[in-house]
Chains A and B, each alone.
Chain A
Amino acid sequence: MSNENPSDLKYTNTHEWVRDNGDGTVTIGITEHAQDLLGDVVFVELPELESSLTAEENCGVIESVKAASDMYAPLEGEVTEVNEELDGEPELINTAPFGEGWIFSMKLKSMADLEELMDADAYEAFCQE
């Protein structure tokens, strides 16, 4: 199992990663650890564009061959972009969870909320628990 969680990302305890795009938006995906647990992803129900989400709100579903797994908004904000590529190539979540397998972007209500999330070290420790 990979322990290479990028240090420039923030993490949730539901195994999403959050990247600060520096323009008031963040991009969200699931971690290497999460994709490994899920196995082969075959379908992603993406969040609705422009929907307002609260922190930890259920906003989509990732279906692997094995099971359906809920996806959660890491923080409060509005969905600004979703990764349409996942419609045709859901396996990008397995092959590039931190890259092309990104899932959606949000404009956060407050960028300061990012501080509530774990950094890479804390997330790694969390996964070891």
Chain B
Amino acid sequence: MPDTSQNTTPQRTPLYDKHLESEGKIVDFAGWEMPINYGSQVKEHNQVREDAGMFDVSHMVVLDFHGKDVKRFLQYLLANDVAKLKDSGKALYSGMLNETGGVIDDLIVYYLSDDFYRMVVNAATRVNDLQWINQQAKDFDLEIKERDDLAMIAVQGPNAREKTHSLLTAENATKVSALKPFFGCQVDEIFFARTGYTGEDGYEIMILNDDVADFWDKLLSSGVKPIGLGARDTLRLEAGMNLYGTDMDETISPLSAGMAWTIAWEPSERDFIGRKALETLKSEGIKHKLVGLILEDKGVLRGHQKVVTEFGDGEITSGSFSPTLGLSIALARVPTEAKDKCHVEIRGKHLSAKIVKPQFVRNGKSVL
């Protein structure tokens, strides 16, 4: 597990005072003082599904890679292949693996030009990631710059884009609104990416620390409501998106974490870190898979609860109540053969659950 206590004194993002102004309830998250909610997690969750909400994700880590070897390096570092990125601004989701095929982190990388890529990694894994990346980069001609001068706001929801556009000049609004899903672009001092972690449309916006509070206020006045980490978790769970450290870590291969689609096996001569281990795992047969669960009895699924199937036991990796569906859902790692039905052990009782694909909600609607 990564070291999550990188700093003994808690850190604050440039939006800390804004969270207090909106009566955010502050908790420690990976050494950062972040808002868990601003009153009601469920209301915030619904706000994102039905209208537009914004998250302070400034604690996440932005890394810029410059140099002539950058592409070759990222093709070595990541399980997904940045060669897929042919248009400027295009983003790619990937795992960064260790030699045994375990997931060091999951991340998004943007192709900006042949000698410039941008990567966003998790806050909780920052120290470990930087150490690993720098160590691997030793023999490559490139420069890695941590952009700690940048803050980040995620604006998400069916009305998120429109409300964001309303804050921009006509010319910039045209540029930003032309972004296709999973693309980003630099507009003046701000980087807009049509990405997110909620299953809704919207942007992740990287902006200078000095400018972020002003931009936050503008979003507020255009009707975008602040959303805490609590709702961020239920939103991403409904969308079936993994949370690093919970749904996968350095001991879990992407093949058992619902991330097989992020492994680029072709071209076969691309020798990325972890490839050999993954090939071995694959040839031996994958024993576990990540699935979605829906609780049919009353109760709430939670992480680490035991899942009982006819093919053996598994474990819930993330569980909660789904505000959109009005019932409890989870991600769980279970034996590969398991399907249809299972039981979850909650306080000594075996409750019935259904095994489904790990995706529950997209664009405000159930996909079950």
Residues on A lying within 8 angstroms of B by beta carbon are 39-40, 42-43, 45, 61, 63, 65-68, 87
Contacts and interface: CB of A to CB of B under 8 A. Distances in A.
Nearest to B42: A40
Given A65-B230, A65-B234, A42 B40 contact: no
A64 to B, nearest CB: 8
A30 B36 CA distance: 22
Given A39-B230, A42-B321, A43-B321, A65 B299 contact: no
A63 B40 contact: no
A65 B302 contact: no
Top 8 A-B pairs ranked by shortest CB distance?
A63-B300, A42-B321, A40-B42, A65-B321, A65-B41, A39-B41, A43-B300, A40-B41
Interface string B82-120: 000000000000000000000000000000000000000
Contacts of B40: 39-40
B323 to A, nearest CB: 7
B41 A66 contact: yes
Interface in B191-239: 230, 234
Contacts of B328: 42-43
A68 B302 CA distance: 9
B317 interface: no
* Interface hub of B36, B234, B299, B302 (most chain A Cβ within 10 A): B299
B347 A65 contact: no
A45 B349 CA distance: 12
B242 to A, nearest CB: 19
Interface of B: 36-37, 40-42, 45, 230, 234, 298-300, 302, 320-321, 323, 328, 347
Nearest to A44: B298
Contacts of A67: 302
A68 B319 CA distance: 12
A68 B230 contact: no
A61 B347 contact: yes
Contact of B299 (A39, A43, A87): A43
Given A43-B321, A63-B321, A68 B41 contact: no
B300 A68 contact: yes
A57 to B, nearest CB: 15
* Interface hub of B36, B41, B320, B321 (most chain A Cβ within 10 A): B321
15 contacts: A40-B41, A40-B42, A42-B300, A42-B321, A43-B300, A43-B321, A43-B328, A61-B347, A63-B299, A63-B321, A65-B41, A65-B42, A65-B323, A67-B302, A87-B298
Given A42-B328, A43-B328, A61-B347, 15 more contacts: A39-B37, A39-B40, A40-B40, A42-B300, A42-B321, A43-B300, A63-B299, A65-B41, A65-B42, A65-B45, A65-B230, A65-B234, A65-B320, A65-B323, A67-B302
